[in-house]
Chain A
Amino acid sequence: MFTDFFYLLRKKGVPVTVTEWVSFIEALYNGYFQSSLNHLYYVGRAFLVKSEAYYDMFDQAFQEYFGGIKTEGPELDKVLDWLENPLHKLPKMTPEEIAEFQQRLEEFRKEHNMDELMKQFMERLKEQKERHDGGGKWIGTGGTSPFGAYGHHPGGIRVGGESWMQSAAKVAEERRFRNYRNDIILDVRQTKMALKKLRELKREGAQEELDIDETIDKTAKEGGEIELVFNRSRENTVRIILLMDTGGSMLPYTELCERLFSAASQMEHFKEFKYFFFHNCIYQDIYEDIANYKRIPTEKLFSQFHKGYKVVLVGDARMAYSELFDVNGCIDYFSTNDKPSIEWLMKIKQHFPHSVWLNPTHKNFWGHYTVDTVGKVFPMFELTLDGLKDAIKALTSKAKPSVLN
């Protein structure tokens, strides 16, 4: 009967897998949820959700599926009464049954393509809502689902009565875990966590790690005379250059960029971490400070740093057409530039094949000609935790040539 809850979870974005669902059902039928909504919420969550980032989505799904029960004041007694005296005893699931269940779920997934599944799901959802309105009936048989045979919840659902800190429905309703969602915030700690993925292990430094294979090999060759072979230990060799836009349109995102910056500079595991700033777009000069006083020629990037450096550009990439494509297009009144900015960008991409652009603005606002163009030169990602993860994936995978080349 809960199968539509499974699909509801998936629809809300919780990556529940069949394995997890089966263990959940198994626990359910073994009576571990003690027939209470609170157990179902907390213990169910422990089985189905494996990261606090998805707690909020779980809350939403739970609220949608079970939330109705709260509003049905007078009916509740009836439901409770009915639950006290369940009509049927529940079948216990054997391993074979579980396997069959899993197989059926797989078949079901194969049979229905995604659209159809969604449609069916929506229909079911509607139905479910109606039942809610009708008053607690949702606890009844789940005949319409392909897994209807498993009948009811073990002892029914008892609401309240126990000294939980807060009732599950209320917790779900509060959506306390909203701030843990991956697609919303990016704090320093999370950023650091994401940046840790950015690594390339290579053997460098002093030879102090005993190479056992080599030692055995050598010793055997020496006829048993022990010959110790040492090796360099593996170290992260990632070198990063961060280029940040300090232009006026970036002001609303200062704090966000600050967090990225402080996370990156706190990372001790980079071999090297360099940072520079630019104003709206990159021309012949970039700056070593945020206030754009200490300028250094952009050419220096190419002479000082080899192509192994990974370059992360941060900016909204939103500017006037002329700023990107025209000679002397730079927004600063006193600056001139004899090369349009786009050429510099392409030069950077050519010199540093591993480079990405992080955009603090929401993807929905990217429909702008300069954003599109920059996005064609550099793979562009949102400056969210998910975006950052994708960006890091792109940085560590093999570089693709830019489209404009």
Chain B
Amino acid sequence: MVTGQGYKGSEDYIASKPLMEIVNVSVALGKPLVIKGEPGTGKTLLAHSISTALNKKLLIWNVKSTTKAKDGLYVYDTIQRLNDARFKDKDISDIRQYIKMGKLGQAFKSDEQLVLLIDEIDKADVEFPNDLLNELDEMSFHIPELDEEVTAIHRPVVIITSNSEKELPDAFLRRCVFHYIEFPDEEMMEKIVRVHYPDIENKLVREAIKRFYWIRDVDGLRKKPSTSELIDWIKALSLGGISTDKISSEIPFLGAILKNEQDTGRFIKLSHAQGGGFGFKRRF
């Protein structure tokens, strides 16, 4: 049973209850957890938070478009060896010194259980997740050069984030636990903002959040503003000493929320149409 213990969010990260439970179950079962969600919903931060909350070291594997699955296991530096062989100033008979563990390899070899974050797995090639199937399932891999098996001493807690740039293969997903982080509702959002700015006046935060969701609801935005934009915006509002009334009558620093020209245009047109005109002309 995982009741009463395990992951419960950390000081700087507000996790919803379902998410906490899912984290706990996946940790207990040793299954990788795939986290998807809109940009800015705190996918990457989750791993940081788990690492702090469970007091385990965090290892981050940032996946790029050029990343190969093998890079995460180990790299055999053939060029270095070739070079050393050429100048004969080193003993090259020991291949071991040219084998460097990747992030996954490090996590397996570690003496303590680690949290391994495979960040933005969808950035890599479509085949990338499939190449890791067995490694994540068995938590072991083989190094043919040494004819050695690297097996995880402690199964790391594996958190995988995806921005859904590409879809992940079914075979891969079958072995994982999946959670889609929904965009937080207003109540939750207030808590999140509070974590970042405990000192900003309540009224301002509430009004700003209200406005923010109103903007998000505008139909047909190309890029919906996310949490990080709200947080920046609130900071700008607070630093700029903007009064609460002003937020409700016009929208200052709109550029902090809408970052696309077409969106801004669309939004201004819409708010004009809804009457009032919010005084955009003066500002933009």
Chain A residues within 8 Å of B, Cβ to Cβ? 15, 17, 19-20, 23, 26-27, 30-32, 34, 38-39, 42-43, 46-47, 49-52, 55, 162-165, 176, 180, 188-189, 193, 196-197, 210, 212, 216, 219, 224-226, 255, 262
A50 touches B174 (CB 8 A): yes
On whether the beta carbons of A55 and B25 are closer than 8 Å, the reply is no
Bound-state Cα–Cα, A52 to B163, Å: 12
Rounded to whole angstroms, the CA-CA distance of A17 and B173 in the bound complex is: 11
- B178 near A51 with CB under 8 A, answer yes
Which chain A residue has the least Cβ–Cβ distance from B25? A32
- Complex partner residue of B220 from A32, A42, A225, A255, CB under 8 angstroms: A255
Contacts of A43 in B (CB 8 A): 18, 21-22, 25
- Residues in chain B near residue A46, CB distance under 8 A: 22, 25-26, 33, 177-179
Does B29 interact with chain A (Cβ within 8 Å)? yes
Q: Is the Cβ of B21 less than 8 Å from the Cβ of A196?
A: no
Min distance, Cβ A199 to any Cβ of chain B, angstroms: 9
Stretch of B54-62, B77-85, B226-234, B271-279 lying at the A interface: B77-85
Q: DSSP majority for the A interface?
A: helix
The residues of B that contact A51 with a CB separation of less than 8 Å are: 36, 167, 173, 178, 180
Measured CA separation A43–B25 after assembly (Å)? 8
If A55-B180, A224-B85 touch, does A19 touch B174 (CB 8 Å cutoff)? yes
A23 CA to B21 CA in the complex, in Å?
16
Once bound together, how far apart are the Cα atoms of A78 and B110, in whole Å? Answer: 51
Within 8 A of A (CB), among B129-182: 164-168, 170, 173-180, 182
Minimum CB–CB distance for B245 against chain A, Å: 31
**Identity of the chain B residue whose Cβ is nearest the Cβ of A55 in the assembled complex:** B180
**Per-residue 0/1 for B107-126: is the Cβ within 8 Å of any A Cβ (1 yes, 0 no)?**
00000000000000000001
Which among A32, A42, A52 is the interface contact of B29 at CB below 8 angstroms?
A32
How big is chain B's contact interface, by range? Answer: 35 or more
Choose among A31, A188, A224 the residue that contacts B1 (Cβ–Cβ < 8 A).
A31
Which residues of B have CB within 8 Å of A50?
34, 168, 170, 173-174, 176, 178
How many angstroms from the CA of A30 to the CA of B2 in the assembled complex? 10
Contact check, A226 vs B167: say whether CB atoms are below 8 A apart.
Answer: no
A–B complex contacts, Cβ < 8 Å, 26 sampled: A23-B29, A27-B25, A32-B2, A32-B24, A34-B3, A38-B18, A43-B18, A43-B21, A46-B178, A50-B176, A51-B173, A51-B180, A163-B17, A164-B17, A165-B17, A165-B18, A165-B185, A165-B188, A176-B182, A180-B180, A193-B164, A193-B166, A219-B82, A224-B86, A226-B83, A226-B86
- Bound together, the chains give a CA A164 to CA B188 distance in angstroms of 12
Tell me the complex Cα distance, A262–B24, Å: 41
How distant is the Cα of A146 from the Cα of B173 in the complex, in angstroms?
27
Contact of B222 among A47, A165, A188 (CB under 8 A): A188
Task: List, in ascending order, chain A residues with CB within 8 A of B179's CB.
Answer: 46
A165→B186 CA distance, assembly (Å): 12
Q: How far is the CA of A180 from the CA of B178 in the complex (A)?
A: 15
Among residues of A, the one whose C-beta sits closest to the C-beta of B33 is A46
Given known A-B contacts A51-B178, A165-B16, A32 and B28 have beta carbons under 8 A apart: yes
| B103 at interface, CB cutoff 8 A | no
Chain A residues positioned under 8 Å from B166 (CB to CB): 193, 196-197
Q: How far is the CA of A26 from the CA of B31 in the complex (A)?
A: 12
